């Protein structure tokens, strides 16, 4: 199981349902609920994807009517997230841009020097990148390598710290850093934890949340009641941290 990143594209094999709110169409993706409860759950993601979990026994029309009852709330959520997305600009990898590391924004400073070895250094709140010739692609590659190296260090350190809270994990699980488009982290059936290097841009509590999530999957591979009991035990209030990470996803992945 894994901690997923909110996605902007609805899966092709799950056609969207929709309705009109005033003169604006609202589309959403329907998924089945794992529990037997009849309540319809609505989630608006920061990428403006609307996900509706509904009982399999309910017809599409019944689900649409249930979502319509909360149409204004859905519309307001979409409006707020769209306003946030308007402020996200594509990276150009030039001096003056801000890039995240451990939840904080650092100004990028690109230094051109034929005499120095290309490198990245975090110095006095600035990310200094030395290149022999100004090239956005080269700056991007150097930053990506730097983030991966720091991710390995930070993730290993936080995993060791989180082990003190997960008494059911007897030995330190192997950890892998791997770029993933849809996941912050995952846990294999054999207990290997994989983490997205982009996660190192998030605040420490968000990193701890993802690591603890995967450590709980070592004991319970599904999102069962036991899994959530373990999460509540090792990280009370984890839901707020998950929302914090979800809300930052677009900014972290574009910075």
Given a cut of 70, whether residue 165 has pLDDT beyond it is yes
Instruction: Indicate whether 181 pLDDT > 90.
Output: no
Can you give the pLDDT at residue 194? 96
Q: How far apart are CA 42 and CA 33, in angstroms?
A: 11
- Confidence at 228, pLDDT banded by 50, 70, 90: very high
pLDDT for residue 110 is more than 90: yes
Does residue 236 surpass a pLDDT of 90? Answer: yes
Instruction: Retrieve residue 4's tokens.
Output: 């997923």
In degrees to the nearest 10, what's the CA dihedral of 225, 52, 235, 166? 50
What is the reported pLDDT for 99?
92
Across 139-162, average pLDDT:
96
pLDDT confidence of 85, banded at 50, 70, 90? low
Higher-scoring residue by pLDDT: 126, 6: 126
User: Are 5 and 249 within 8 A, CB to CB?
Assistant: yes
Domain 98-254 in this protein, CATH class: alpha beta
Flag whether pLDDT at 8 surpasses 50.
no
pTM of the full predicted structure? 0.71
For 10-60, the pLDDT digits (tens) are 333 455 899 999 888 899 999 887 655 678 889 888 778 898 988 888 899
Coil, strand, or helix at residue 81? helix
Tens digit of pLDDT for each residue in 182-212? 789 999 988 999 999 999 999 999 999 999 9
Give ranges for CATH 3.30.2010.10 in the chain.
Answer: 98-254
């Amino acid at each position: 199981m894994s901690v997923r990143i909110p996605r902007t594209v609805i899966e092709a094999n799950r056609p969207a349902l929709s309705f009109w709110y005033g003169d604006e169409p609202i589309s959403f993706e329907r998924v089945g609920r794992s529990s037997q409860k009849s309540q319809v759950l609505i989630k608006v993601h920061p990428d403006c994807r609307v996900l509706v979990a509904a009982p399999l026994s309910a017809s599409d029309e019944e689900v649409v009517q249930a979502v319509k009852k909360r149409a204004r709330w859905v519309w307001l959520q979409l409006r707020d997230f769209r306003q946030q997305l308007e402020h996200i600009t594509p990276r150009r990898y030039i001096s003056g841009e801000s890039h995240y590391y451990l939840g904080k924004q650092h100004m990028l400073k690109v230094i051109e020097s034929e005499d120095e070895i290309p490198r990245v250094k975090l110095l006095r709140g600035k990310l200094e990148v030395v290149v022999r010739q100004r090239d956005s692609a080269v700056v991007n590659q150097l930053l990506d390598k730097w983030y991966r190296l720091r991710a390995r260090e930070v993730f290993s350190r936080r995993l060791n710290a989180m082990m003190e809270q997960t008494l059911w994990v007897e030995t330190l699980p192997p950890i892998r850093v791997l770029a993933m488009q849809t996941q912050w982290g995952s846990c294999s059936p054999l207990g290997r934890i994989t983490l997205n290097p982009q996660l190192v841009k998030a605040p420490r509590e968000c990193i701890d949340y993802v690591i603890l999530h995967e450590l709980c999957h070592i004991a319970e591979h599904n999102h069962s009641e036991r899994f959530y009991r373990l999460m509540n035990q090792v990280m009370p209030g984890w839901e707020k941290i998950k929302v914090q990470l979800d809300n930052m996803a677009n900014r972290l992945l574009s910075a």
